[in-house]
Amino acid sequence: MKRIAVLGLAMAVSVAAPALAQDAALVFAALDANKDGKITQAEAQKNAAVVQMFGQADKNKDGSLSKDEFQAAFGSEQRPAGGGAK
């Protein structure tokens, strides 16, 4: 019985990880208003979590978040909530 529970938990975790990554991709697409493949600080204003983490997520300090930077910051363990900042 314990074996079945552990197997079920492992399956749930393996399914949840791609879902989180997909959510991050959807949030990125929604925030990228001009569809140039990056999120500026102005575009980030729609999401409070992204605004809060923008400086840390912008690894190359160019003032925008690339898809890779966004995915690294929000794609797995952290997930930007849908709530907006303004």
**Would you call 57 exposed, middle or buried from its count of C-beta atoms within 10 A (0-12, 13-18, 19+)?**
buried
Q: Residue ranges per domain, the chain?
A: 20-86
Per-residue tens of pLDDT for the chain, all 86 residues: 444 443 343 333 333 344 445 799 999 999 999 999 999 999 999 999 999 999 999 999 999 999 999 999 998 655 455 544 44
38: enclosing H helix or E strand? strand 38-40
Q: What is the pLDDT at residue 81?
A: 56
Query: Domain 20-86 carries which CATH code?
Result: 1.10.238.10
CA distance 44 to 54: 8
Q: What is the pLDDT at residue 21?
A: 57
